Homo-oligomer: A and B are copies of this chain.
Amino acid sequence: MTAVSPLAPARFPKMPEVTGVTLASHACGVRYAGRTDLLLVEMVAGTTAAGVFTKSLTASAPVEWCRQSVAKGRARVLVVNSGNANAFTGSVGVASVKRTVEKAAKLADCRSSEVYVASTGTIGVRLPDEKITEALADARAKLKGNAWADAAKAIMTTDTYPKGATRTATIDGTKVVINGIAKGAGMIAPDMATMLSYVFTDAAIPADVLQALLSKGVKGSFNAITVDSDTSTSDTLMLFATGKAGNTVIKDAKDKRLADFKAKLFDLLLDLAHQVVKDGEGATKFVAVSVSGAASKRAARVIGMAIANSPLVKTAIAGEDANWGRVVMAVGKAGEKANRDKLSIRMGGVLVADKGEIAEGYDEAPVTAHFKGQNISIEVDVGVGKGKATVWTCDLTHAYIDINGSYRT
């Protein structure tokens, strides 16, 4: 078995209950033996829902189901299995989703469109959905409010630790709770929703407001991370609000009374996104790449991702080599405006390159020391405008190759 990532948090956070949400984990044997692989979540009537999903053109059947249902904005049940992605499984995969949804809806006495499903794991293998549908009744019997760590564990695939985060916020004077869990370690890339992440709150928030907040929050969090530039067919991020906190219902996402909730939600999304990067397959370093001076925010992000996805930058970091020339290379290949002769680079806060060449009196010793640490900082100013963005990634090590050279076997 793979050891726990050296970048893992010291412990899973203490997560309070979210009124109106109950969870159960179950071992139904889809692929893994001796561990849970099914998560069932039930939510009270009236729960609103929002979601963002992979932009992959080969999206999985469960993703297509959720994308369609979330337009109605209501949720009662969530069913997630690990070990099989039910992606590229044709009409058989669609039928698997349908059977799972119908069984769960019947048990919870709700509409099919209020049931969300997700599957992650191997692509192209038929999902043995009968193992899931047969287990649902047993799983229901175990539903309870304080089961967040077990829930996070049940959805893991190549993850080496469960990922969770919690925040509290106030909306117009009423305290609300926000809990989130996530999974993901490989096939993690930009320009999409995310791997799998589910966030729950007891706040009362209409579905359209929830969607506006989530769509905005994903940009600086899950859409600003990359492990390996490969976009999954199953990426799903959903946000559910039970309304049980009894706060004032606010109908505009820009209303200032939602500012604290929004800030805490975005902070939680970033926390979960960072936890995914820190469990990047084979990761030993957590890398923040900040780009400034770009033509636009979008351009800054493209340049940041070119650096964060460069195998040469990532292997240099794995080798603790402060090879800033590769950062120059990555800026050059990004295809966005950059002024080579105004370009400056800082690593670990130290000015390495300035005005298109190595900084005067540059001393590599403190930068080399920085590269021996776990948290690497790369800052680049491309000298053409005011666009800024930060993205996060990890290093590329032997373990990534070991994990992915034999994933199916």
Residues of A at the B interface (CB closer than 8 Å) are: 54-59, 85, 87-93, 122-126, 186-187, 189, 228-233, 309-312, 315-316, 318-321, 323-326, 328-338, 340-341, 343, 353, 355-358, 396-398, 400-401, 404-409
Contacts and interface: CB of A to CB of B under 8 A. Distances in A.
Contacts of A90: 341, 355-357
Contacts of A336: 57
Nearest to A320: B405
Contacts of A401: 315, 318-319, 396-398, 401
Contacts of A358: 88-89, 124-126
A92 B355 CA distance: 12
Nearest to A124: B325
A95 to B, nearest CB: 12
- Kindly report how many copies of this chain are found in the complex they form together: 2
A142 B353 CA distance: 40
A328 B89 CA distance: 11
B398 A88 contact: no
Contacts of A85: 325
Contact of A233 (B186, B189, B311, B332): B332
28 contacts: A54-B332, A56-B333, A57-B338, A58-B331, A58-B332, A58-B338, A59-B332, A85-B325, A88-B328, A88-B356, A89-B358, A90-B355, A91-B357, A92-B357, A123-B326, A123-B329, A189-B333, A229-B229, A230-B311, A230-B326, A231-B333, A311-B400, A311-B404, A315-B400, A316-B407, A320-B405, A321-B405, A321-B407
Nearest to A64: B340
Given A58-B338, A91-B357, 9 more contacts: A57-B331, A57-B334, A59-B332, A88-B356, A88-B357, A90-B341, A123-B326, A315-B400, A318-B405
A265 to B, nearest CB: 27
A329 B405 contact: no
A71 to B, nearest CB: 21
Contacts of A326: 123, 230
Contacts of A409: 321
Contacts of A397: 401
A399 to B, nearest CB: 10
Nearest to A90: B357
A355 B93 CA distance: 13
B407 A231 contact: no
A324 B396 CA distance: 23
Contact of A329 (B58, B330, B355, B357): B58
A174 B231 CA distance: 53
